[in-house]
Structure 1
Amino acid sequence: MFSGVTGLFDRGQKLKGTVVLMQKNTLDINALTAAKSPTGIIGGAFGIVGDVAGNILDTATSFLGRSIALRLISATSADAAGKGKVGKETFLEGLLTSIPTLGDKQNAFSIHFEWDSNMGIPGAFYIDNFMQGEFFLVSLTLEDVPNHGSIHFVCNSWIYNSKKYKTDRIFFANKTYLPSETPAPLVYYRQEELKTLRGDGTGERKEWERIYDYDVYNDLGEPDSKPQLARQILGGSSDFPYPRRGRTGRRKTKTDPKSETRSPTVYLPRDESFGHTKSSDFLVYILKSASQNVIPQLRSVVTLQLNNPEFNTFQDVRSLYEGGIKLPTDVLSQISPIPLFKELFRSDGEQALKFPPPKVIQVDHSAWQTDEEFAREMIAGVNPHIIKKLSEFPPKSKLDSQKFGDNTSTITKENLEPNMGGVTVEQAIQDNRLYILDHHDPLFPYLRKINATETKAYATRTILFLQDDGTLKPLAIELSRPHPQGDSFGPVSNVYLPASEGVEASIWLLAKAFVVVNDSCYHQLVSHWLNTHAVVEPFIIATNRHLSVVHPIHKLLLPHYRDTMNINALARNVLVNAEGIIESTFLWGNYALEMSAVVYKDWNFIEQGLPNDLIKRGVAVEDPASPTGLRLLIEDYPYASDGLEIWAAIKSWVGEYVNFYYKSDAAIAQDAELQAFWKELVEVGHGDLKNATWWFKMQTREELIEASTILIWIASALHAAVNFGQYPYGGYILNRPTKSRRFMPEKGSPEYDELAKDYQKSYLRTITPKNDTLTDLTIIEVLSRHASDEQYLGDRIEGDNWTSDSQPKEAFKRFGKKLAEIEQKLTQRNNDETLRNRYGPVKMPYTLLYPSSEEGLTCRGIPNSISI
């Protein structure tokens, strides 16, 4: 029982080490936001000495005795079976309090290993937890290893009671090896750990497990509750293909044997979940609290107590940020204790919930209504990568004409040319001056279903003209509805032109609103959810199943996976599920994710890289003379110009890194782990698109560099560009409404008369209603925030210990320095008033691709990963 104590006095020439760990935080967010875990919220690994504040252990004796044991494994000396020799079981000793590098709530303990010279150099270790609860193991550092020096083990993993595991928990030193270069004594351990992470594909997963496996999206609905909650299974079919999610193994529903039952907690491989000291835990906790507590309370206040379900004037909307919503005491008492929502209450004694003013109206309340701002947000807003060059006129459709009729645009040259300053359509196309925001094809097949509900919508096309001053000018908007006699008759379309006076100006404002509603839905379900969150999850699963933690590509990609599976699981529980936040407040409603699956049919991984995306959309051409290799046809295109700087920096860093570890293309083809990773990613993770010809073959360093760059771009810069501007732009619902509830009023109708008399009231009756607005604001205000411990591009949570190889570490430091230089360059661009698209009529500079940020609602900063 006291072997640890004996070690304090009989160390001899033992190998000295320091173990850093954290007790299970007593404010475990996963426990708070779901059913309690078996250990309880306060119990945890160190419940016997922990307290609510999560203070450090106050006595060294807490760990004396048989509580946590380690066994070193040799990387250079093998036993008779060829496996690295395993040292004696050694227990943690006393608490160390003088280590200056410890992070918040981390505790360091000394340990002394018996390690004879014939055991060689340690390269891994086993760990056993003999306590009832789990703890978070941060690292182990061995000092003065003979013939070597210090060895660092980066762990960052939850350790449960050893009886929970079928195989021993193992950690490897921060060495980096290709499979073929792994020291022979470690080969067995490397392979066995990957087998453990893959599991056997059966059974329901348990909280403490670390198994990565795939499943389709069959947990969005609840058909056993009521038929209306049944949802289409996404993935596994040609009609509704989808990226795979992490498998949980929950039982199937009684109503539909292909659908999975839902539960308050969703299994994640344990190290993918939040639940220690990260402040990002609080953002997720707040997000769940908002959806399950705050939003229902606000809806109740608006509909039942205030009896005022509509905004009547634009000033009513602005009052959300100026005066707030007065709340009854009983509602206030339930909402105000929730972190962050404390910040939203007025400080002048009024019991009112007041949202922060969105950036888009901080300088000018009405500039959002201008045509220039409407167009500018297509290249500098929260969905800046949809606009395309118009290369044929009139615009055509790719929809099946046999099924949907002729969907060619009805916009004519006569509609456009009066506002083109004497330039003809032919000249404008030849000179790259006509562009289109096309939200027709994805939406049109679903319009009849959507319009059968309380929402009313159009498929839209918007044509824009590139003016001499570099700004875009909208020329015409086409609104299309299904033909009353059937889809095969094609759409019924109307074209609307800009106007600045009278009822025509109000009609034009409504036409723009219908466009933005479509853009808001496409942004949230495709640009944001599908093209960042969902498509990255299979990469995370495949990486952990086939690339060892000591593999160079695992180390390269790991920072860009942080917390993504967890936020995706939360999204499936409260955001994109049946009757969740998105279905309830966005136009696409019950068909939201189903429609994103239809769009996924045309997803192309290679085209997600920024240069390829810009070329595909026709907004850039290759130019060898340019530092970026491209020439933008819209020169002042903030997202593209800033993004190309970030893209180039990522690719340069990845290129240095890959070429350090792979000295030839042959080494790529011979890397068994890399080939298994890529094969499974293509054939299973994105298996519904496995027959696409565009997938990299993964046979050359160039392919690996490009693929890694694309993935890092998606997880960092692309997600930042489409996420952290949500509240700054969309927090003012007039600027980015999410629903349309009425069709365009026709002359002679009461709605037309209302529009002529009171355009603000008519506009507000058409777009997102008050209840849904409060829901939207509450959610996107959380989604647009940065946590205090956010890990930004160019930074790593492990500090300088993520690898022992000096050249990659130096290259990474150069990457960080380059990003700082880019940020200065982008700041200078925003100070150049000749670049009108960078700040626009709303005087809101484009900062979404600034690499760094402070905590909070900043409208800037590129985190490493999709963590919120």
Structure 2
Amino acid sequence: AGGGGGRQGPRTLRGRKLPRGVGGGRRPAYRRAKALSARCARAARFLLRATMPSYTVTVATGSQWFAGTDDYIYLSLVGSAGCSEKHLLDKPFYNDFERGAVDSYNVVVDDELGDIQLIRIEKRKYWLHDDWYLKYITLKTPCGDYIEFPCYRWISGESEIVLRDGRAKLACDDQIHILKQHRRKELETRQKEYRWMEWNPGFPLSIDAKCHKDLPRDIQFDSEKGVDFVLNYSKAMENLFINRFMHMFQSSWSDFADFEKIFLRISNTISEQVMNHWQEDLMFGYQFLNGCNPVLIQRCVKLPENLPVTTEMVECSLERQLTLEQEVELGNIFIVDFKLLDGIDVNKTDPCTLQFLAAPICLLYKNLANKIVPIAIQLNQVPGDENPIFLPSDAKSDWLLAKIWVRSCDFHIHQTITHLLRTHLVSEVFGIALYRQLPAVHPIFKLLVAHVRFTVAINTKAREQLICKYGLFDKANATGGGGHVQMVQKSMQDLTYSSLCFPEAIKARGMDNTEDIPYYFYRDDGLLVWEAIREFTAEVVDIYYESDQVVEGDQELQDFVKDVYMYGMRGKKASGFPESIKTKEKLSEYLTVVIFTASAQHAAVNFGQYDWYSWIPNAPPTMRAPPPKVKGVVTIEQIVDMLPDRGRSCWHLGAVWALSQFQDNELFLGMYPEEHFIETPVKEAMARFRKKLDTIVSVIAERNKKKKLPYYYLSPDRIPNSVAI
């Protein structure tokens, strides 16, 4: 090799000189010409590529656990003038599609595609299959326009999905064949995945899945472990320091104060108030208005024939110097009738413990302070010598036991009917019908999908672990072992559409007069939230439906409504559920029912369970002796023995604690982080909705400042969007 920075001599191979022109020597003319030709070809290809249509594709991966993927992701663009080839979305030396990532890619196509109508995404195996949660794709066209393609779906295995742009469209808006075809195929696929199943005779139909993992991936929980009832109940008992009692079945508490041993970790304003005042008549009456089950009390317009109560019997409770009949005429008498429990089989799953039920009738009175107090209790439906009417003038232990029985029965109706049937199961019906009959591009699907999030999943887990035969519900509840199934079957006869319309339900029970019954916060707050939802749904309906005729002609919408009627309500005309919807006003009402039931109504009857049920004597989940047949014999010690044993008390406390917890990253009413809608008018309607909800939050917070017992279950900042616990 030469020195001084000069040209190197010819390279050698195994001691031989290389041919001239191969090493550092000058290339022949033909080699120089060939190199120049190659450079020209590359330049030509570059110039050609520069003139070919180029799209910038931005892909957003979900931020939940296990949302990312290592699989190969291919994209094809389908336009009005043609379809592109598949393009592998991949950047060198970069980990694409990580959890929470937003990745951009340049996609060059050979020909003009025209208006982009669809995006096709294919996922192919790299090594091991992993699911991928695709939030959305944004496309920047060669003209500089941006098109949004919402997805918010899981892509599992080696599969393909096709996305439309985010503009909501009714079927009548689609005139292009390929879009009509996509719409039809999406529903055909969904109807194969989302099948109806009868879990128990007489129940609303549910999803055809034996366990959580059998569900379509899009409606499964992100992490199944987080909603494992066995795990959560055990964790609850551990957190409450009561797990040492959980296996102490048949072991009675010594007295009421003994229950405080499982109350050590409770520092909750309402729970402490309940513990201190649960024996008082005012607290008893208050719970029918603002407790966990504020939907049973109704104004008594006529004394029931099977409750032979007289003025003389309750005279000491009547403050207006009127007869009982006159008080009824003035609207001062209220009634709660637990006739649904009459004839229900009691839990016999534990042969070592006898459990009992009653079917009480409770008469209540509005006193001069406008407070509701009990004045008569009959513990079974058929009057007679062995079914006495208990009164406040009776011995303290007699009256206390009668009230405990009523509270226990209220607990059973609440858990199985008010909570399970009328929020969980009804919302599942709406959710299944939604996925079966409305494509993702439909405005009603976009509106409601957030309000059925995880509902089918939580119900499936409940059928798998909680309310199944020998499930957790059987451990502590007198209606376990099949009684809860009978209750749902009986109550289906009374489940009507109007009873889900909040204002109508309040009015039907004679509880709508705010001046007459001033402390009914469930009613007051519920009406505020109902009206905010109704105004919001009416705005959305106005945006997409020009007239009543468009509503009536929307076949997909009519199929959705009919699915709910036929499979949810089992085609019963007496239910009053519509088979079709013909006006914008009725559509807005229907949508309000769906959203209110899944959000506000569920919040009102679910998240107060720990507040009102953690003090066991206030709402025993079971009773271990039958209702008394005579007065004057029961003692306080006997009452304590009738209450749940230590083991059942712990399982009950763990259950109500777990059920009262919000989920991690809970989405509350008005929060729509998944942007299924992209149109400005809808986004503005959502903003107005949130503003109204914020105003309601402030109104409720201001009222609660003056209350020893605050009522906050219907404050919108405590109302999750959907039934998910």
**How far did residue 466 of structure 1 move?**
1.1
Aligned with 1:613 (options 505, 514, 517) = 505
SS in 2 for 1:141: strand
Per-residue Cα deviation, 1:289-309 (whole angstroms, up to 9, x for no partner) = 1458987999995487x7982
Contact 1:447–1:458 (CA under 8 A) maintained in structure 2? no
Whichever residue aligns with residue 272 of structure 2, its letter is Q
Aligned with 1:476 (options 376, 382, 397) = 376
Say whether residues 1:648 and 2:688 are aligned partners. Answer: no
Whichever residue aligns with residue 123 of structure 2, its letter is N
Aligned with 2:550 (options 661, 667, 689) = 667
Contact 1:620–1:632 (CA under 8 A) maintained in structure 2? no
Q: Counterparts of 1:763 and 1:544 in 2: how far apart (Å)?
A: 51
- Structure 1 counterpart of 2:657: 781
Q: 1:732 to 1:181 in 2, by over 3 A?
A: same
Whichever residue aligns with residue 605 of structure 1, its letter is Y
Per-residue Cα deviation, 1:737-767 (whole angstroms, up to 9, x for no partner) = 1111113456799xx36x1xxx2x4332112
Say whether residues 1:14 and 2:54 are aligned partners. Answer: yes
**How far did residue 172 of structure 1 move?**
2.2
Per-residue Cα deviation, 1:758-782 (whole angstroms, up to 9, x for no partner) = x2x4332112221111111112211
Q: Counterparts of 1:811 and 1:526 in 2: how far apart (Å)?
A: 34
**How far did residue 728 of structure 1 move?**
1.3
Q: Counterparts of 1:646 and 1:771 in 2: how far apart (Å)?
A: 40
CA RMSD of aligned residues (A): 3.2
Q: Counterparts of 1:735 and 1:529 in 2: how far apart (Å)?
A: 21
**How far did residue 664 of structure 1 move?**
0.4
**How far did residue 146 of structure 1 move?**
4.5
Say whether residues 1:711 and 2:568 are aligned partners. Answer: no
Contact 1:15–1:142 (CA under 8 A) maintained in structure 2? no
Q: Counterparts of 2:93 and 2:646 in 1: how far apart (Å)?
A: 56
Aligned with 1:426 (options 304, 325, 331) = 325
Aligned with 2:102 (options 108, 117, 120) = 108
SS in 2 for 1:445: coil
- Structure 2 counterpart of 1:94: 91
Aligned with 1:572 (options 463, 467, 473) = 463
Contact 2:388–2:629 (CA under 8 A) maintained in structure 1? no
**How far did residue 181 of structure 1 move?**
0.4
Say whether residues 1:196 and 2:189 are aligned partners. Answer: yes
Say whether residues 1:72 and 2:64 are aligned partners. Answer: no
Q: Counterparts of 1:447 and 1:106 in 2: how far apart (Å)?
A: 51
Q: 1:114 to 1:214 in 2, by over 3 A?
A: same
Q: 1:465 to 1:447 in 2, by over 3 A?
A: farther
Q: Counterparts of 2:337 and 2:572 in 1: how far apart (Å)?
A: 24
Q: Counterparts of 2:86 and 2:401 in 1: how far apart (Å)?
A: 73
Say whether residues 1:319 and 2:261 are aligned partners. Answer: yes
Q: 1:693 to 1:473 in 2, by over 3 A?
A: closer
**How far did residue 72 of structure 1 move?**
2.1
SS in 2 for 1:558: helix
Q: 1:723 to 1:97 in 2, by over 3 A?
A: farther
Q: Counterparts of 1:788 and 1:268 in 2: how far apart (Å)?
A: 22
Whichever residue aligns with residue 700 of structure 1, its letter is T
Say whether residues 1:562 and 2:555 are aligned partners. Answer: no
Aligned with 2:196 (options 214, 217, 231) = 214
Q: Counterparts of 2:94 and 2:538 in 1: how far apart (Å)?
A: 41
Say whether residues 1:657 and 2:653 are aligned partners. Answer: no
Whichever residue aligns with residue 426 of structure 1, its letter is E
SS in 2 for 1:703: helix
**How far did residue 670 of structure 1 move?**
0.8
**How far did residue 138 of structure 1 move?**
2.9
Contact 1:410–1:478 (CA under 8 A) maintained in structure 2? no
Aligned with 1:270 (options 198, 214, 217) = 217
Say whether residues 1:831 and 2:688 are aligned partners. Answer: no
Between the aligned residues of both structures, percent identity stands at: 27
Q: 1:447 to 1:498 in 2, by over 3 A?
A: farther
Q: Counterparts of 2:704 and 2:243 in 1: how far apart (Å)?
A: 43
> How many correspondences in the alignment?
671
Aligned with 1:741 (options 624, 628, 647) = 624
Aligned with 1:496 (options 366, 381, 390) = 390
**How far did residue 45 of structure 1 move?**
6.9
- Structure 2 counterpart of 1:371: 281
Aligned with 1:532 (options 405, 409, 423) = 423
SS in 1 for 2:251: coil
Q: Map residues 40-439 of structure 1 onto 2, 5 A cutoff.
A: 46=69, 67-74=72-79, 77=80, 85-94=82-91, 105-115=99-109, 118-131=112-125, 132-146=128-142, 149-162=145-158, 165=159, 168-184=160-176, 185-199=178-192, 211-217=193-199, 233-234=200-201, 241-248=202-209, 265-275=212-222, 283-285=226-228, 287-290=229-232, 301-302=244-245, 309-322=251-264, 355-363=265-273, 365-393=275-303, 395-396=304-305, 408-421=306-319, 422-439=321-338
Contact 2:236–2:657 (CA under 8 A) maintained in structure 1? no
Q: Counterparts of 2:144 and 2:308 in 1: how far apart (Å)?
A: 75
Q: Counterparts of 1:119 and 1:69 in 2: how far apart (Å)?
A: 18
Per-residue Cα deviation, 1:339-389 (whole angstroms, up to 9, x for no partner) = xxxxxxxxxxxxxxxx43444343574212211011001111111111011
SS in 1 for 2:716: coil
- Structure 1 counterpart of 2:614: 731
Q: Counterparts of 1:794 and 1:375 in 2: how far apart (Å)?
A: 33
Per-residue Cα deviation, 1:311-358 (whole angstroms, up to 9, x for no partner) = 212232112232xxxxxxxxxxxxxxxxxxxxxxxxxxxxxxxx4344
Whichever residue aligns with residue 497 of structure 1, its letter is L
Q: Counterparts of 1:177 and 1:315 in 2: how far apart (Å)?
A: 63
Q: Counterparts of 1:592 and 1:559 in 2: how far apart (Å)?
A: 29
**How far did residue 595 of structure 1 move?**
1.4
SS in 2 for 1:473: strand
TM, length-normalised to structure 1: 0.72
Q: 1:809 to 1:734 in 2, by over 3 A?
A: same
Whichever residue aligns with residue 307 of structure 2, its letter is S
Deviates more, 1:116-125 or 1:712-721: 116-125
Q: Counterparts of 1:315 and 1:96 in 2: how far apart (Å)?
A: 67
SS in 1 for 2:621: coil
Q: Counterparts of 1:583 and 1:273 in 2: how far apart (Å)?
A: 26
Whichever residue aligns with residue 18 of structure 1, its letter is T
Aligned with 1:797 (options 657, 670, 673) = 673
**How far did residue 117 of structure 1 move?**
7.0
**How far did residue 155 of structure 1 move?**
1.5
Q: Counterparts of 1:16 and 1:113 in 2: how far apart (Å)?
A: 6
Q: Counterparts of 1:690 and 1:296 in 2: how far apart (Å)?
A: 48
Q: Counterparts of 1:20 and 1:374 in 2: how far apart (Å)?
A: 53
Contact 2:475–2:651 (CA under 8 A) maintained in structure 1? no
Say whether residues 1:862 and 2:695 are aligned partners. Answer: no
Per-residue Cα deviation, 1:627-651 (whole angstroms, up to 9, x for no partner) = xxxx564122110011100001000
Q: Counterparts of 1:266 and 1:142 in 2: how far apart (Å)?
A: 31
Q: 1:550 to 1:747 in 2, by over 3 A?
A: closer
Contact 2:704–2:710 (CA under 8 A) maintained in structure 1? yes
Contact 1:128–1:161 (CA under 8 A) maintained in structure 2? no
Q: Counterparts of 2:426 and 2:379 in 1: how far apart (Å)?
A: 31
Q: 1:148 to 1:511 in 2, by over 3 A?
A: farther
Q: Counterparts of 1:650 and 1:613 in 2: how far apart (Å)?
A: 17
